[in-house]
Chain A
Amino acid sequence: MNPVVVVGIYLVIIAVIGSVAYTRGKSNTEDFFLASRSIGGLVFFLSIFATNMTAFAILGSSGQAYRQGIGIYGLMASSSGLVIPLTIFFIGTRLWALGKKFGHQTQVAFFRDRWECDSIGTVIFVLSVAMLVPYMIISIMGGGRVLCDISGGKVDYWLGCLVVVLVVTMNVFFGGMRGTVWVNIFQTILFLLFGTVAVVVISHALPGGFGEYIHKIAGNPKTSFLLTRERMSPQFFWSYTLIPLSSIMFPHMAMMCFAAKKVTVFKRTVILYPLAIMAIWLPCVLLGVIGTQAAPGLKNPDGVLLHLLTGHAPIWLAGILGAGIISAVMGSDTHQVLAVSTMFTKDVFAHYGGEKRFGERGTVSFARIFIVFVTLVAYVVALNTPESIFELAVRFAFSGFAAMAPVMIAALFWKRSTKHGALASTLWVAACLAGIWYLQHISDTMLPKPGQAPTVIFPAIGHLFERTIANVTCFGFLPVVPMVLGSAVLMIIVSRFTPQPSLATIKKYFP
């Protein structure tokens, strides 16, 4: 059976689940956007995990391991395994409680109420949407590329993107949060099994097993670095531990927290989260490194897993594993589309009078129309814009959302925090993003060669800004470090010197 047929069956199942969810829905915004805050038990864990996992967790991780070696696991996976559950534990549970108590459906609604200010919510809304939309577009691009690769080029890229867009749109349009979550159960189980099955199948197929391949890599001076972190600077490695702060600040993750049935569902989630990350990343990173020997010289290292699977797994299994990869793409993409639609509907349309004028049913209709509009625009953009632009934007988005974490922490835990402090932090983040974009752009012509020291961008100011092959750094640290620190410092200093919200609001949030 052709892998495309298996993936096609999978896509039909996804569409059907989303449509069935439609029959269970009610015509109000809380039900459409948050499934009436009813997501409980293991479903919550499976769904919040799917929200956060993209195709990068499978294809990107193995591709990066192919290029940079095993260090990529510590860099991205194990740090996320600690920091993301911590943020869910400390921030997610509080967000859930405030959403339940005061009816907030988005972060922006919470910020507006917490600091008695519409404008601060609007500024954060603009920044959040600007950082989220590229992520949504690149997910569509990733899905299209995967479908194209799995089919061996028989499905064109444009058609692959179109299939992804259609399935995601149907799923969100009809099912809202409920449809998205139901589909996530199926998707998460599929891609959690992916890594283990792939390792077992490929290890059986490789002569001599993994040990022999690892010894070959270790014995070759050109590849031995793949088994260590000798080409990764400790500053770079440490900087990355701040990136997972972004997770809870992504609007779709916060919305999942709002959608929980009760706070106790977070317990199992935070304990299982690091293990689930390991279940996906460890096999993918290991296979990526093994791939340097089993499939040397790949032009596109992100395709190493697909290459190994199509070479060593039975066709039907390659199809199911391909569906696992598509699951990772669509799981997060549906949540991103839903989040963008929720934000525009609740934070703009409803907030500025639409809900009063058109009622709950009319607001849900607006959300559905917006979903079609936004996915259509994203599709057109995905076909007509180079992927590299969005890759860069998404990398910046992770730093940007991470640097917004101090704003959320202050809102939740610090009575004295003010809207001016939040505004200062938000403007700092926006200015930093613009600055890094500029530095990245002007330093594209001064890239160091692999193995060389970073290039100093402005010799007059020493090592303040340097350029590595992929990133601009600040004294050797990733930009996320000064961004997070600056955001926290500005929040504290500006709040100290500006008036806090009314006593009634402070009592409301700190009874």
Chain B
Amino acid sequence: MKKVLLCLLIAGVYVLHQDFWNWRTAQPLVFGFLPIGLAYHAAYSILASATMAILVSTAWPKHLETTEGAETK
């Protein structure tokens, strides 16, 4: 169940990148100078970081932490 939810989270965030609703408008200007299309994608970068934080805390490959040194060359 956790895996499914995380896959949905990643897929959802990926889909949100295609913000067709901001395509042809610059308004509103966030902080008075940032066109909405740019402000949206700046916020999207923060969302991407938050998504990665969720992945790290819930789906971290903990089994790799015990990896031992080289067996063969």
Contacts and interface: CB of A to CB of B under 8 A. Distances in A.
Contacts of B68: 100-101
Interface string A42-84: 0000000000000000000000000000110110011101100
Most buried by B among A102, A103, A274, A277: A274
Nearest to A71: B37
Interface in B54-73: 55-56, 60-61, 64-65, 67-73
A101 B70 contact: yes
Contacts, number: 137
Contacts of B69: 100-101
Contacts of B13: 82
Nearest to A214: B33
Nearest to B45: A278
A438 B45 CA distance: 36
A74 B64 contact: no
A230 B23 contact: yes
A286 B34 CA distance: 8
Given A262-B65, A270-B52, A77 B45 contact: yes
B8 interface: no
Contact of B38 (A211, A273, A286): A286
Interface in A104-161: none
Given A70-B37, A224-B26, A228-B26, A81 B70 contact: no
Nearest to A82: B48
Interface string A234-261: 1001100100000000000000000000
Contacts of A270: 52, 55-56
B29 to A, nearest CB: 6
Given A100-B70, A270-B52, A274-B49, A81 B44 contact: yes
Interface stretch (A19-27, A85-93, A331-339): A85-93
Given A70-B38, A103-B70, A241 B14 contact: yes
Contact of B55 (A89, A273, A278): A89
Interface in B7-44: 10, 13-14, 17-20, 22-26, 29, 32-35, 37-38, 40-42, 44
Contacts of A262: 65
A89 B68 CA distance: 20
Nearest to A74: B41
Given A89-B55, A267-B60, A241 B24 contact: no
A227 B53 CA distance: 31
A415 interface: no
Most buried by B among A82, A89, A218, A275: A82
Nearest to B61: A93
A70 B35 contact: yes
A273 B52 CA distance: 9
A166 interface: no
A498 interface: no
Nearest to B51: A82
B32 A211 contact: yes
A339 B44 CA distance: 32
Interface in A201-241: 209-211, 213-214, 218, 224, 227-230, 234, 237-238, 241
Contacts of A271: 49, 52-53, 56
A200 B26 CA distance: 23
A77 B38 CA distance: 11
A505 to B, nearest CB: 12
Contacts of B42: 73, 78, 278, 282
A264 interface: yes
B23 A218 contact: no
Given A227-B37, A238-B18, A270-B56, A211 B24 contact: no
A304 B65 CA distance: 46
B26 A101 contact: no
Contacts of B46: 274-275, 278
B49 A237 contact: no
Contacts of A277: 45
A74 B17 contact: yes
B71 to A, nearest CB: 6
25 contacts: A74-B19, A78-B44, A81-B48, A82-B13, A82-B51, A85-B48, A86-B10, A89-B56, A93-B61, A94-B61, A96-B67, A101-B69, A102-B71, A103-B71, A224-B26, A227-B38, A228-B22, A228-B23, A228-B35, A229-B22, A263-B61, A264-B65, A267-B56, A277-B45, A282-B45
Interface of A: 70-71, 73-74, 77-79, 81-82, 85-86, 89, 93-94, 96-97, 100-103, 209-211, 213-214, 218, 224, 227-230, 234, 237-238, 241, 262-264, 267, 270-275, 277-278, 282, 285-286
Interface of B: 10, 13-14, 17-20, 22-26, 29, 32-35, 37-38, 40-42, 44-46, 48-49, 51-53, 55-56, 60-61, 64-65, 67-73
Given A210-B33, A214-B35, 9 more contacts: A78-B44, A78-B45, A78-B48, A101-B71, A103-B71, A211-B32, A224-B26, A275-B49, A286-B38
